[in-house]
Structure 1
Amino acid sequence: MSFHTWLLFAAAYLLTTISPGPNVLLVIRNSVRYGSRGAAASVAGNLLAQGIVVALVALGVGAVLVALPPLFVAMKVLGAAYLMYLGIRQLRSARKTQASQTAQPASAASPAYAFDRRKVFREALLVSGSNPKTMIFLSAFMPQFIDHERGLPEQFIVMYLTIAVTVALVHTVYSLGVRGIHQRVGASRWIAALKRGSGLVFVALGIKLLTAQRA
């Protein structure tokens, strides 16, 4: 892969990553709840999932997924169900938070959340890896930048490292930005609003994935 081709790949992938999706939403939520540790665990889970997807694309699994509609539908349903499960759980948590805020005096401290690195990591891994359209997208996207006169494994490694750096940078920017807003606005109202908003968005994303077509 020439430097010019790599530059085109990096720029194109950056544009696709900037647009907020389930992974960005999860990073934002965990950044507010757990701070930098939550953001780091979320990004790590996402990067592992991306690495697995890239490896499967390199092995041609994405083409198999396109060729077998039942497999695509099964993965789509599972991914959509998990996103909607996260959304419903967030909405229920928002009600509990609102009820606790009503019962407590205004000067009470904001609720604390026990940080479980494995749980946050696993959640990010499942959110990132459960969408079959990610594999189909990368199966169509990555080969456009492949130089067949050079070694394929090396090129896939370079592209994954580019993806990893891009995702880490973009998600860090989102994390820092939302934490800055969180500190200025105030914890209690911000957390309740974030829970309601993220819950609705997760449900909407699940429905969108459920109704998505392969192409």
Structure 2
Amino acid sequence: MTIHVWWLFAVTVFLLSATPGPNMLHALTRSVHLGFRRAAPAFAGCLSAVFCVLVLSAAGVGTLLAALPRLFDVIRYAGAGYLLWLGVRAWMAPVHDAGEAAVVGPGMTGWGVYRGGFLTGISNPKLLLFAAAFFPQFIDRHAAVAGQFAILIATFVGIESFWLLLYGLGGRKLARLIGTPRMKRLFNRVTGTVFLGFGAVLLRGRS
């Protein structure tokens, strides 16, 4: 893999990661409700999920899922169900004058925040097939494959980290603008609707 190929990969991933999706929306909402510092485990959870998916794709699991449509459908429906649940939970969340929105329970631990981020990231099985089809385009089969996959995965995770932190910082600033219960309720319903939309798109997607 040449430096030119690596740059092409990095630019492509940078633009793709910038596009708002479940991970970025989760980072934004957690930062709004918890504050940037307490939301950090959610960012780590999303990144852990992305890392796991990329490693599985590099190991060829994406090809296995493509060859077994029914298995992929099971994973797809489970992921869509979780996104729909997030949407309903955000939409129905009560709002208080101070403190965290009920989307994030007052007793939620760092592990709970991390787990939510991981489940959000892992609930999109399209990432698995995307990575399985995307990575081989940048791999030189005449060189050591494992090392190239390691570089590509590290690059992907690094870029994803940048955008997650950027969205998280945006959430901290957004929290200052939605201090009233009315604005918080509007924010919860907008984000809930977006999560519901992600889930609906995933349900309608073809395996």
Structure with the higher fraction of residues in helix conformation: 1
- 2:5 maps to 1:12: no
Give structure 1 regions of 4+ aligned residues with deviation exceeding 4 angstroms: none
Correspondence list, 1:143-158, <5 A:
143-158=136-151
Task: Give CA deviations for 1:50-82 in whole Å, capped at 9, x if unaligned.
Answer: 111111111111001011110111001000001
Change (3 A) 1:29 1:69: same
Distance in structure 2 (CA, Å) of the matches to 1:18 and 1:128: 15
Q: How many angstroms does 1:175 deviate by?
A: 1.7
Contact kept? 2:53, 2:128, Cα under 8 Å: yes
Distance in structure 1 (CA, Å) of the matches to 2:180 and 2:154: 36
Contact kept? 1:54, 1:156, Cα under 8 Å: no
Distance in structure 2 (CA, Å) of the matches to 1:46 and 1:89: 19
Cross-structure match for 1:111: 99
Cross-structure match for 1:121: 114
Cross-structure match for 1:75: 75
SS in 2 for 1:36: coil
Task: From the CA coordinates, give the structure whose radius of gyration is larger.
Answer: 1
- 2:189 maps to 1:201: no
Provide TM-score, normalisation by structure 1: 0.88
Contact kept? 1:28, 1:39, Cα under 8 Å: no
Q: How many angstroms does 1:39 deviate by?
A: 3.4
Letter in 2 for 1:15: L
Cross-structure match for 2:206: 213
Q: How many angstroms does 1:114 deviate by?
A: 4.3
Cross-structure match for 2:103: none
RMSD: 1.5
Structure 1: gaps (5+ residues): 101-108
Distance in structure 1 (CA, Å) of the matches to 2:161 and 2:25: 14
Provide TM-score, normalisation by structure 2: 0.91
User: How many residues are matched?
Assistant: 202
- 2:57 maps to 1:85: no
Correspondence list, 1:41-56, <5 A:
41-56=41-56
Cross-structure match for 2:152: 159
- 2:133 maps to 1:140: yes
Cross-structure match for 1:181: 174
Distance in structure 2 (CA, Å) of the matches to 1:175 and 1:130: 20
Say which is worse superposed, 188-197 or 62-71, in terms of deviation.
188-197
Change (3 A) 1:162 1:195: same
Distance in structure 1 (CA, Å) of the matches to 2:180 and 2:130: 38
Structure 2: gaps (5+ residues): 101-105
- 2:27 maps to 1:34: no
Query: Of the candidates 160, 165, 170, which is equivalent to residue 163 of structure 2?
Result: 170
Letter in 2 for 1:70: R
Task: Report the identity percentage.
Answer: 36
